[in-house]
Amino acid sequence: MPGFELWGDEERKEVNEVLETGILMRYGFDSLRKGIWKSKELEAAICKRFGARYAQLTSSGTSALTTAFAALGIGAGDEVIMPSFTFVASFESVLSVGATPVLVDVDETLTMNPESVKKAISSKTKAIVPVHMCGSMADLDALLTITKEHNLILLEDACQSIGASYKGRAVGTIGHAGTFSFDFVKIMTCGEGGVVLTNDESVYIKCDGYTDHGHDHKGGADRGADQHPFIGYNYRISELHAAVGLAQVRKLDSFLDIQRRNHGYLKNILSNVPEITFRTIPDPDGDSCTFLSWFLPTEEITRNVVNELKGQGALAGNFYWYDNNWHYIRKWDHLKNYVSLHALNNDQQAALKKLQTQDFSASDAVMGRCVSTAISLLWSEEQIRERGEKIVGAIKKLLGEQSIPACVKLHLPT
Ligand SMILES: *Cc1c(COP(=O)(O)O)cnc(C)c1O
């Protein structure tokens, strides 16, 4: 998964160019910066690589989402439909603009189930935010049909799927806007950073101002001459972070090649186990292959296999999201109890209270059986085989011991 694994001279060279001038800010100081504009250069490189008309860098993926919501005009009173399996940044960014998160079930794509989305639409719904989790993608055709029919905004959270595509187009460029995260463990990293992608010039101009205290950037070299047509915040990226990203975006395709190769080896090994099924991928050719996500027949079997791997000291890199408190509704107690340091608005409080009793059994039935194995860029073939064989061994050992549902027994090797 992470680009930091292949940190090297390319990143050091870009950062050093910024250190030479000492101009760490992305705006202004025109005469002192000696023509070094890493943030602008990275934005241009991102537009080119992903086929987006506009890119606005931000300080994080979370602030990219917040910026996108603001630029798309989503705020107090608006409902935003998001999946039950994602990263906490999804609801954080919705809440931060005063909007109301509405959570829906995921299916075996590990992304939002379009049927659940349809059922969650109300007169207050303003946007649908599919999260392209774990390197793959949501069923965008189905979601686009829904957004068109109901006149809603589609914002793609592609923070975990940089370089994935859907029917030939980069994820993050297909909806009204999309976001990537460049935090330290993402497919490419800036250390910290993010970006909003859009093909809509007016959305881009709003993102540009919003991330820099509302500056319209029309004052030329004199920041003091900029006007403030609307209220903004400081979600700027620094030149040092952008410099890292510039080296990383140039290496992205080599990261993706390695991920796809390693993912293929591991999938071949796990395919020998008839009890394992794999995640449904709406466009398999577009998978970034940053994770291999697989299912076992029941939650009990899955939990036991996870515990077996843990006991062998072999769990690292295998994620059982069902018990994870960053990624799945089940453990988001702070959200369900709406523990906020500042007052939330009434709509937000009412919506979060509802989460305490909302039925997520359809999501549980998927997530309770799912393990995602993170694909390293550094694995040797030998290490992949070892890893795969540990997983296969743990499953074989447990399936031999416990009571297995009849449907599963049929598939057991004799
Ligand atoms: C990482 C991530 C984010 C937020 O990115 P940060 O840069 O860590 O703020 C948002 N959404 C998803 C799905 C993520 O994985």
- At 2, is the pLDDT very low, low, confident or very high (cuts 50, 70, 90)? confident
Quick check: 406 pLDDT over 90?
Answer: no
User: 97: CA distance to ligand 1 center in Å?
Assistant: 17
Among candidate residues 13, 118, 119, 186, the one labeled active-site is 186
Domain ranges for the chain: 3-251
412: confidence class by pLDDT, cuts 50, 70, 90: very low
Arch. (CATH architecture) of 3-251:
3-Layer(aba) Sandwich (3.40)
Determine the residue of 62, 162, 248, 372 to mutate for testing ligand 1's pocket, defined as the one with the most ligand atoms within 8 A of the Cβ atom.
62
The residue whose CA has the least distance to atom 6 of ligand 1 is 61
Distance from the CA of 98 to the center of ligand 1, in angstroms?
19
pLDDT-above-70 percentage for the chain: 96
Residue 401: predicted pLDDT? 54
Q: What's the pLDDT tens digit per position in 251-261? A: 999 999 999 99
Beta bridge partners of 197: 55, 178
Q: How confident is the model at residue 7 (pLDDT cuts 50, 70, 90)?
A: very high
Residues with CB under 6 A from ligand 1: 60-62, 86-87, 89-90, 131, 157, 159-160, 181, 183, 194
**pLDDT at 144 exceeding the cut of 90:** yes
The answer on pLDDT for 413 being more than 50 is no
Task: Answer yes or no: 34 catalytic.
Answer: no
Q: Which comes out higher in pLDDT, residue 12 or 402?
A: 12
Predicted TM-score (pTM) of the model is 0.96
Rounded to a whole number of angstroms, the CA Rg of the chain reads 22
Shortest-distance Cα residue to atom 2 of ligand 1: 159
192 vs 190: CA distance, rounded Å: 5
Which protein residue has the closest C-alpha to ligand 1 atom 3? 61
* Nearest residue (CA) to ligand 1, atom 7: 61
When pLDDT is cut at 50, 70 and 90, the band that residue 407 belongs to is: very low
Segment 9-27 mean pLDDT: 98
Local confidence band at 221 (pLDDT 50, 70, 90 cut-offs):
confident
The per-residue pLDDT of the chain, averaged, comes to 95
Ligand 1 atom at minimal distance to the Cα of residue 131 = 13
| pLDDT tens track for 330-379 | 999 999 999 999 999 999 999 999 999 999 999 999 999 999 999 999 99
Distance 183 CA to ligand 1 centre (A): 7
